[in-house]
Structure 1
Amino acid sequence: MNTVVQMPDTKKAKPVAQKEDAMWLQKEMINANYMDLAKAHSQGRKVAATFVPGNLNELLMCFNLARSLPETNALQNGMRKKSGKMIMDAERDGQSEDVCTYVKADLGMMMGGEIGPTGDPMPKPDVLLLSYTGCFTFMKWFELIRHKYGCETVMLHVPYQGEGRIQPNMREYVVKQLKETVIPTLERISGVKFDIDRLRQYMRESVKAEDDLVRVLQSAKNRPSPIDGYFGAVYYIGPIFTAFRGTPEATQYYSMLRKEIDERVRLGKGPITPEGEMGEEKYRLIVEGPPNWTSFRDFWKMFYDEGAVVVSSTYAKVGGLYDFGFRHDPENPLESLADYCLGCYTNLNLPSRIDMICKYIDEYQADGLLINSIKSCNSFSAGQLLILREVERRTGKPAAFVETDLVDPRYFSAANVKNRLESYFQMVKQKRTALAGAH
């Protein structure tokens, strides 16, 4: 089933976008969370700001905290074409051109009267919870917010997976901080006593949603793939990577999504694009790196116009590597929060990332790798050329590189990106012909 959804207004009207029912529902959920945030203080609730990778959503819910996610705020503003002005305002205020554009969009939003992406006011956070997972910028970002609001900051230091695996002492170190620092601080700020059984109950819901999400993401192993594992997947991961993991609403959402995608597999259908059903599947790609949000729809169109579907992407794992078996564990709740933080994509070393991409190319029978290198995101971009060369060497499949930005419209050159993509698809075609000839 498709629902026709009106896209946000831009200067020139675009045709209405086609969306699956589940895409429409996730938009409603995200909007409902902004409404929840707008009303939190008047309802006597405290507000926590936290980040997507390694977020402790189930734990925060134990303290009745409303949850704001600065990256999500920035990308939502980007998709609504609001981030360009915010970034320029932050630069005029002294932020460097090289600073992560999520940060500048967030700071610009604060300077512009603190109105959120949906037009609802954004509340001042009462606590900043940083579970540090591989992105140093997060620490500087929260320093700036703390400086502006004078709110409390609680830091969960998560060791980097330098050797490619989680050691018991790493897990113990994170659990110790949860028990001795994070939980007592959240109790004090919220005035709510921690109840581990409440945490276990939220985790039972998380597991159901995680199982269904993995089923959806892995449906792309079918030919044709019923989903786009990059452009489509950013809708699918929205609820679980933000303020809904652990809620019955998320369980319901992923159950609905799974049924919708199972039906597409049964009917042998490809993905839904903003212009309706995708035509013939000609190329199957793996994509590394976040999307460009300010020109998201134009960027996606360059793929589906060529019959290219992304069967898996690393970005769709930025909030958790569920497809490699991780699940929140109600029996060991604090240990599983530690493992979750330790296992986020941005906390993995380069060999682990390369292994993961090679595995995807093999399991999803992809034609090659495309890297979208983000100008202002060091957490993803550092080492991407090395990843590209190593994946090409190990798989024998062609790889290519395009460059855009997260939410800065100045760094999306449509003609440049389109040329590179067209050259890449030619390369894939030639490689296939050569292989067919060799057999």
Structure 2
Amino acid sequence: MSANIETLDPQKDSSMLMQKEMINSNYDALTDTANNGKKVCSTFVPGNLNELIQSFGMLNNLPETNAIQNAMRQQSGGMIQSAERMGHSEDVCTYVKADIGMMSKGNIAPNGKPMPNPDLLLLSYTGCFTFMKWFELLRQEYKCPTVMLQVPYQGDGEVTQNMRDFVVKQLKEEVIPALEQVSGNKFDIDALREQMRRSAQAEDDLVWVLESAKNKPSPIDAYFGAIYYLGPMFTAFRGTQQAVDYYKVLRQEIEQRIKNGQGPITPGGSMGKEKYRIVMEGPPNWTNFREFWKMFYDEGAVVVASTYTKVGGVYDQGFRHDADNPLESLADYCLGCYTNRNLPKRVDMLEKYVKDYEADGLLINSIKSCNSFSAGQLMMMQEIEKRTGVPGAFVETDLVDPRYFSAANVKNRLESYFQMIEQRRQGQSNMIASAR
């Protein structure tokens, strides 16, 4: 069943096709550096400084995005096993092992061409300790300059001026000089400001799209479908005119869908009747992405809000890149990442989503190898149940390791969960009828 679903040609709207072309164009640019003369900066999605990197004329390569691309092409499993044969533990983040395995197999990009070695490793440390160890491994492999931007953790749930100043100081004294040296270009604050103006413009449209899920029926799926919507923002295009144009097209599509009273576009076409509105916590499983999604839309379940779609920026919480205060804005962006927020702040966000989007429940996809997300999730679920009265549930998979996706187990849990929601509804209806 899994193989059949994964090989189906999914139905996509024009914005999905547009973002696919954008992602592919970045891989084409990365694998053509011998001709285009561009320098490559490897960095991560949470807290990425894409506007700053691009202001120096450099290309952005994201190792965890490479792992995702390989997983969706059913190639990550072999890469992970190669890394394990090299001595990496089963418990290590599977993004890391997929990346290490990709290098051991010739470091071939998703377009089938060799990936260039990075000219700079830039780590914005935003709450995931694994990222730091990952870059130590990459530094040993590539022996290129490495710079780390230390981002203070929001232990008390607030960003202070001292924290902001600390990040800005590093940008001025460590990150920017490293980018100047590697790129051969001087820092141009006006170029950075222009990038950030475009970022804010695209972010406005993205937030409108995400908040369109408050409609009934929701015109989008804010977890599975939103992965396509967030690709340009989370990867190499934030700050570009391409991103601005993309989010304009996307917004127009969603506006038309609302006007027509349509639900989300799924791999099987337009979704049928919306029966359940769900808030999701945790990353998706990438090796069986469409099969996982199908389990939801077959049941009439739509994800109306999710935390994973905020790992690259909590724009719906009010943040926008600010061209008038560019370095301070970059600091605020890094400090505010979802993975850099403490558990009480994450619970507050989930509670707000459940209430604002009138969700029927909270569902957690607990990822075996991702401690950054999985730690504390049981407490979070229990707290949301207590605060909102909606039921919570767990499913368990992994990021890019196909050995940890049990379709039958996940499907059984989801069906049981939706039945529980249905039973609660019937119980509430009976109570209302009795009161009358």
- Distance in 1 between residues matched to 2:276 and 2:115, nearest whole Å: 42
- Distance in 2 between residues matched to 1:262 and 1:342, nearest whole Å: 32
Is it true that 1:89 corresponds to 2:82 in the alignment?
Answer: yes
- Distance in 1 between residues matched to 2:305 and 2:342, nearest whole Å: 19
Relative to the length of structure 2, the TM-score reads: 0.97
Partners of 1:302 and 1:418 within 8 A in 2:
yes
Deviations 1:31-87 (A, max 9, x none): 100000001243222110000000000000111111100010000100010100000
- Distance in 1 between residues matched to 2:81 and 2:6, nearest whole Å: 25
Of 411, 419, 429, 1:418 maps to 411
Of 88, 112, 126, 1:119 maps to 112
**Aligned ranges 1:16-415 → 2 under 5 Å:** 16-415=9-408
Deviations 1:163-209 (A, max 9, x none): 11111100000000000110011101111000100000000100110
- Distance in 2 between residues matched to 1:268 and 1:12, nearest whole Å: 27
Partners of 1:129 and 1:153 within 8 A in 2:
yes
Output the amino acid matched with 1:261: I
C-alpha spacing 1:387/1:105, structure 2 compared with 1 (3 Å): same
Partners of 1:282 and 1:306 within 8 A in 2:
yes
Output the amino acid matched with 1:302: M
Partners of 2:6 and 2:290 within 8 A in 1:
no
Output the amino acid matched with 1:339: D
Output the amino acid matched with 1:37: L
- Distance in 2 between residues matched to 1:380 and 1:77, nearest whole Å: 21
> Where does residue 7 of structure 1 map in the other structure?
none
Partners of 1:285 and 1:370 within 8 A in 2:
yes
3-state secondary structure, aligned to 2:16: helix
The alpha-carbon deviation at position 13 of structure 1 amounts to: 7.8
- Distance in 2 between residues matched to 1:15 and 1:318, nearest whole Å: 29
3-state secondary structure, aligned to 1:130: strand
3-state secondary structure, aligned to 1:53: coil
Output the amino acid matched with 1:416: N
Partners of 1:40 and 1:66 within 8 A in 2:
no
- Distance in 2 between residues matched to 1:12 and 1:182, nearest whole Å: 44
3-state secondary structure, aligned to 1:19: coil
Output the amino acid matched with 2:321: H
Partners of 1:280 and 1:307 within 8 A in 2:
yes
3-state secondary structure, aligned to 2:7: coil
- Distance in 2 between residues matched to 1:31 and 1:128, nearest whole Å: 22
Aligned length: 431
Consecutive aligned runs of 4 or more in structure 1 exceeding 4 Å deviation: 10-13
Gaps of at least 5 residues in structure 1 are 1-9
Gaps of at least 5 residues in structure 2 are none
Partners of 2:5 and 2:291 within 8 A in 1:
no
> Where does residue 6 of structure 1 map in the other structure?
none
3-state secondary structure, aligned to 2:153: coil
> Where does residue 422 of structure 2 map in the other structure?
429
C-alpha spacing 1:12/1:291, structure 2 compared with 1 (3 Å): closer
The alpha-carbon deviation at position 433 of structure 1 amounts to: 1.5
- Distance in 2 between residues matched to 1:21 and 1:406, nearest whole Å: 27
> Where does residue 8 of structure 2 map in the other structure?
15
Partners of 2:5 and 2:290 within 8 A in 1:
no
Relative to the length of structure 1, the TM-score reads: 0.97
- Distance in 1 between residues matched to 2:13 and 2:156, nearest whole Å: 41
> Where does residue 3 of structure 1 map in the other structure?
none
- Distance in 2 between residues matched to 1:110 and 1:187, nearest whole Å: 27
